Amino acid sequence: MRLPVSAIILLFIAAALFSENLAAAAQSANPYPWCAIYYKEGGGTPRCYFDTRDQCMASISGIGGFCVQNLQYSPRVNPSAHRPRS
């Protein structure tokens, strides 16, 4: 039994898309808990690159904007840190 070339190409495309989705799921889209929204650039698009509110406030200082908590942030939990001691 021989598969047509178009079926083989379709299988390769499906495998490539599936593997990219798995890699994207492993990475957090928003790994930082604080976002800056600048008044001048981006039209209010949040820039989520800050670990602390102080870092965010320093970034907007002098240019204008405000800091908000990243609602999409989920902290990574170290599984070994929550093991009960025996």
Q: What is the pLDDT of residue 51?
A: 96
Q: What is the pLDDT of residue 16?
A: 58
Mean pLDDT by 10 residues, the chain (86 residues): 64 57 50 91 81 96 93 77 62
Q: What is the pLDDT of residue 3?
A: 62
Q: Which residues contact 52 (CB under 8 A, 6 or more apart)?
A: 34
Q: What is the pLDDT of residue 78?
A: 67
Q: What is the pLDDT of residue 66?
A: 94
The DSSP secondary structure of 34-84, one letter per residue, reads EEEEESSSGGG--EEEESSHHHHHHHHTTT-EEEEE-TT--PPP-GGGGPP
